[in-house]
Amino acid sequence: MTYRESEALRALGGIDDVLGGRDVVSAGRLSALDFKDGILRVTYALPPETTQEQGLALQQATEAALDGLAGVERLAVLLTTHRAAPKVAAKSRKVDRNPHPNKRPDGYQGDAKVRHIVAISSAKGGVGKSTVTIGTARALAAQGLKIGVLDADVHGPSLPSLLGVSGQLGTREVEGRRLIAPAESEGVKAVSIGLLTGNSDPVVWRGPMVQGAIARMLWDTDWGELDVLLIDMPPGTGDPQLGLAQDIKPSAAFRGAVVVTTPQDLALLDARKGVGMFKAVDIPVLGWVENMATFTCPDCGSTHALFGDGDPGLSVPKLASLPLSLEMRGAREGYDDLAYALLARLPNG
């Protein structure tokens, strides 16, 4: 049978709004209703005062209302909230670093022995940031360095498939605290929400919960001694990026960021925003990576700049230009030059 959006909306119209008075559709809580390949994604935009119990009740009511809907093989219910954007001072352009502050637990800190922490960011999705992160991690580990990767893309974790690890993570006690025991592959320690949840279902969390999860994976993982911890950041310039400024202790490690982009105008526009955001929260931008810069035809051997070229105006050094290549997906080969360039930008690297 065929999926019909009108039937889905009619079913959702029977669900009461979390704050009462109307149904969720007429109250404007439904922000997106997307259907593709048998998967129906329902996204609600809820007010900040929504409690966790109210969100769970709405999720369960939605699942019950859409159960058995024609054409729907799987349902994903996502809950988001809207909060006021952090204020930017007119002169200094400093921002409220963390609108949802987290407090480090007492006792031993899992990241206490990490020398350098580098956030790999893109500000825009689809530019290959995660692939670049894993390739760089493998290249650094091949040089004999102790490397870790924290997959901070809570809503779209890709580390498990890129690094070839699966299953759920264990725990172990370290100096009186129970910490996450990271997975290991090719000399790289790794933690991802995809390894903590142990399934492929979507993570239905709001902004503060996402930021809290990233902070906990940073503090509550037994990273041990690491030369470099790479953080695969989610796209955008929101809570996870702002929270990084507070969640990493400046006294515990050097903090830096690398921005990954493709040469497309829209991607470069977001990359410039990403550079500006990190500067506003006092995290130095070590440089940028031009991904999918060129494509070499396997038949004729000619090389083409598919997405254009030119000066992106990012005001930070270019660390590497990486080609659009099937062989480089998640591999180490091709990332050695980027690894060397990154180390050269780190203090005592």
Condensed to tens digits (0 to 9), the pLDDT of residues 253-307 reads: 677 889 888 887 777 777 788 788 887 777 888 998 888 876 777 778 777 776 6
- Note whether 61 and 204 are within 8 A (CB): no
pLDDT bracket for residue 138 (50, 70, 90):
very high
- Residue 31's domain is classified under what CATH number? 3.30.300.130
How far apart (Å, rounded) are the C-alpha atoms in residues 275 and 288? 9
Task: Round to whole Å and give the CA distance between 129 and 271.
Answer: 12
Residue 87 belongs to some domain of the structure: no
End position of a domain, from candidates 81, 96, 125: 81
Same domain, 138 and 76: no
Supply the CATH number for residue 303's domain.
3.40.50.300
In a shared domain, residues 211 and 312: yes
pTM for this predicted structure: 0.65
134 and 29 in a single domain? The answer is: no
pLDDT at 209 > cutoff 70: no
On whether residue 97 sits in a domain, the answer given is: no
pLDDT of residue 85: 41
Domain shared by 34 and 149, yes or no = no
Considering the domain boundaries, does residue 214 fall inside one? yes
Closest by CA to 254, choosing from 221, 222, 284, is: 284
Alpha helices in 173-290 (DSSP H): 193-197, 207-219, 239-247, 265-280
Give me the residue label for tokens 């929270």.
243
Out of 91-95, 108-112, 305-309, pick the least confident. Answer: 91-95
The domain total for the chain is 2
For residues 128 and 246, state if they share a domain.
yes
pLDDT exceeds cutoff 90 at 33 = no
What is the structure's pLDDT at 90? 44
Which is more confidently placed, 244 or 47? 47
* Residue predicted with more confidence, 64 or 240: 64
Residue 98 lies in a domain: no
| The domain boundary residue, chosen from 63, 81, 99 | 81
Helix intervals (H) in the chain: 5-12, 52-65, 129-142, 159-163, 193-197, 207-219, 239-247, 265-280, 336-345
In a domain, 158, yes or no: yes
Residues 293 and 338 in one domain: yes
192 and 283 housed in the same domain: yes
75 with 135, same domain: the answer is no
Quick check: is 148 in a domain? yes
DSSP secondary structure code for residue 192 in this structure: E
Domain that holds residue 240: 114-345
Asked, for residue 86, whether it belongs to a domain, the answer is no
With a pLDDT cut of 70, the percent of the chain lying above it is: 77
> Is 175 within the bounds of a domain?
yes
Asked if residue 31 lies in contact with residue 24, where contact means CB atoms within 8 angstroms, the answer is no
171 pLDDT tier (thresholds 50, 70, 90): confident
